[in-house]
């Protein structure tokens, strides 16, 4: 009996993980608008609960690539935990996209943008537990942004308790009174804000303008064995990023993200941060720049973007002062430039 021919790597689907956040938009749009197919790619999206799951599934080879917080790239690539494997960042998917949200039990008129928090905690905090904030992962930008915000207003991490929660669980824990605030990506700030039990003193664009947020994290094995597909994947996502940033596509983007398989959030909640006006729960402020998906200064996986994350993690006490390793080995501008050349007719360099 004749045996079947071996399945080539190229014929296998690309297993691409994501978290149901607004900034999974480039992946969602590339899938829904046929951009992956345009580049000859068979991509299967895998929805994950949280960043620890993304890390584990990349490590064990269950995903080829994923939308990821940048810190996981350092954790896996430099062995900052017990799990170490070759990974690469050939694309930054977006800048900004996060906010800090506090319980409405903390009065906006007293706290302001955070300037009144230290005095409030010293004089008016009545709960029999520490003031408690949540971030999404030990190596996330959210922890860096919380640290920056607290320090800016005269508080240290030791003055509060910071715990880790998956993004989707944060609003319900805030509503139940288990935590007093969190830093997370959308739509989980707007969910609490429009639900009437949360308000935002500051967005990540205000805290650190231009900060890199989610990246495309690719396994080293995939880059090595399926390099051309890796380049095509980045090309497809670059085209998708451009579409996500197009104001004329905004309502279509909201409808795609509202689908159950992506965020499942209502269009009203998604629109709060994707529109020109962001309602903080206390005021209406400009929403322009809340999400930034496209541009060479946005998408290029440069070492200065990597350095921002490393410096923030060290400042927050999540990393040792010693050098982690070569940033250019991890942040692959060569793959990005090859991918950019592949879309140069439709996306100006």
pLDDT band at 167 (very low <50, low <70, confident <90, very high): very high
Contact (CB, 8 A) for 222 and 65: yes
Q: Cβ-count burial of 112 within 10 angstroms (0-12 exposed, 13-18 middle, 19+ buried)?
A: middle
Residue 230, φ and ψ in degrees, nearest 5: -60, -45
Give percent of the chain above pLDDT 90: 83
- Taking the C-alpha atoms of residue 115 and residue 117, their distance in angstroms, rounded to an integer, is 6
Q: Which residue has the higher pLDDT, 182 or 11?
A: 182
Lowest mean pLDDT among 209-213, 239-243, 344-348: 344-348
Angle separating helix axes 303-315 and 70-77, nearest 10 degrees: 90
Cβ atoms within 10 Å of 162's Cβ, excluding its own? 22
pLDDT for the residue numbered 324: 67
Contact (CB, 8 A) for 183 and 133: yes
Residue 68, C-beta contacts closer than 8 angstroms, at least 6 positions apart: 17, 51, 54, 55, 58, 214, 215, 216, 217
- Taking the C-alpha atoms of residue 226 and residue 65, their distance in angstroms, rounded to an integer, is 12
pLDDT for the residue numbered 6: 39
pLDDT for the residue numbered 321: 61
Structure-token pair, residue 32: 């829904």
Q: Which of 94, 92, 329 is nearest to 223 (CA)?
A: 329
Mean pLDDT of the chain: 92
**3-class SS of residue 121:** helix
Stretch 303-314: mean pLDDT:
91
Torsion from C-alpha of 322, 326, 327, 329, nearest 10 degrees? -150
Stretch 65-80: mean pLDDT:
92
pLDDT for the residue numbered 82: 84
Stretch 165-191: mean pLDDT:
97
Residue 348, φ and ψ in degrees, nearest 5: -60, 140
Terminal Cα distance for the chain, rounded: 54
Contact (CB, 8 A) for 84 and 76: yes
Contact (CB, 8 A) for 66 and 18: yes
Contact (CB, 8 A) for 167 and 214: no
pLDDT band at 3 (very low <50, low <70, confident <90, very high): very low
Torsion from C-alpha of 187, 184, 194, 210, nearest 10 degrees? -80
Can the peptide bond before residue 187 be classed as cis, meaning omega within 30 degrees of 0? yes
Which pLDDT tens digit goes with each residue over 98-142? 999 999 999 999 999 999 999 999 999 999 999 999 999 989 999
Which pLDDT tens digit goes with each residue over 279-293? 999 999 999 999 999
Q: What's the number of CA atoms in the CB half-sphere (13 Å) around residue 49?
A: 7
To the nearest 5 percent, what fractions of the chain are helix, strand and coil?
45, 20, 35
- The domains found in the chain, sorted by start residue, are 9-94+213-245+293-342 (3.40.190.10), 99-207 (3.40.190.10)
Burial profile 65-95: b = 16 or more Cβ within 10 angstroms, e = fewer? bbbbbbbbbbbbbbebeeeeeebbbbbbbbb
pLDDT band at 318 (very low <50, low <70, confident <90, very high): confident
Lowest mean pLDDT among 76-80, 190-194, 295-299, 338-342: 76-80
Burial profile 284-318: b = 16 or more Cβ within 10 angstroms, e = fewer? eeebeebbbbbeeebbbbbeebbebbbebbeebeb
**3-class SS of residue 290:** coil
């Amino acid at each position: 009996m004749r045996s079947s021919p071996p399945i080539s790597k190229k014929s296998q689907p690309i297993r691409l993980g994501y978290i149901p956040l607004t900034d999974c938009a480039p992946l969602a749009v590339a899938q829904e608008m046929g951009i992956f197919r345009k580049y000859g790619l068979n991509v299967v999206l895998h929805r994950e609960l949280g960043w620890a799951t993304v890390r584990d599934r990349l490590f064990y080879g269950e995903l080829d690539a994923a939308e990821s917080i940048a810190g996981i790239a350092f954790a896996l690539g430099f062995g900052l935990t017990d799990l170490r494997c070759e990974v690469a960042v050939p694309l930054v998917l977006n800048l900004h996209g996060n906010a800090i949200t506090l319980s409405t039990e903390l009065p906006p008129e007293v706290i302001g943008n955070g300037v009144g928090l230290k005095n409030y905690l010293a004089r008016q905090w009545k709960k029999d537990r520490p003031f408690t904030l949540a971030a999404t992962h030990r190596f996330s930008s959210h922890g860096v942004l919380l640290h920056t915000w607290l320090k800016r207003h005269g508080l240290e991490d030791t003055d509060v308790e910071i715990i880790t929660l998956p993004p989707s669980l944060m609003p319900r824990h805030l509503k139940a009174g288990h935590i007093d605030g969190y830093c997370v990506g959308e739509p989980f700030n707007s969910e609490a804000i429009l639900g009437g039990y949360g308000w935002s003193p500051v967005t990540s664009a205000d805290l650190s303008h231009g900060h890199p947020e989610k990246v495309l994290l690719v396994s080293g094995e995939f880059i090595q064995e399926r390099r051309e597909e890796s380049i095509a994947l980045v090309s497809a996502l670059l085209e998708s990023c451009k579409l996500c940033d197009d104001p004329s596509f905004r309502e279509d983007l909201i409808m795609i993200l509202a689908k159950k398989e992506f965020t499942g959030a209502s269009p009203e909640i998604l629109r709060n941060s994707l529109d020109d006006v962001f309602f903080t729960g206390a005021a209406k402020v400009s929403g322009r720049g809340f999400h930034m998906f496209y541009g060479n200064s946005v998408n290029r996986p440069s070492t200065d973007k990597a350095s921002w994350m490393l410096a923030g993690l060290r400042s927050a006490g999540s990393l040792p002062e010693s050098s982690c390793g070569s940033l250019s080995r991890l942040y692959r501008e060569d793959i990005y430039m090859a991918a950019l050349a592949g879309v140069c007719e439709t996306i100006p360099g």
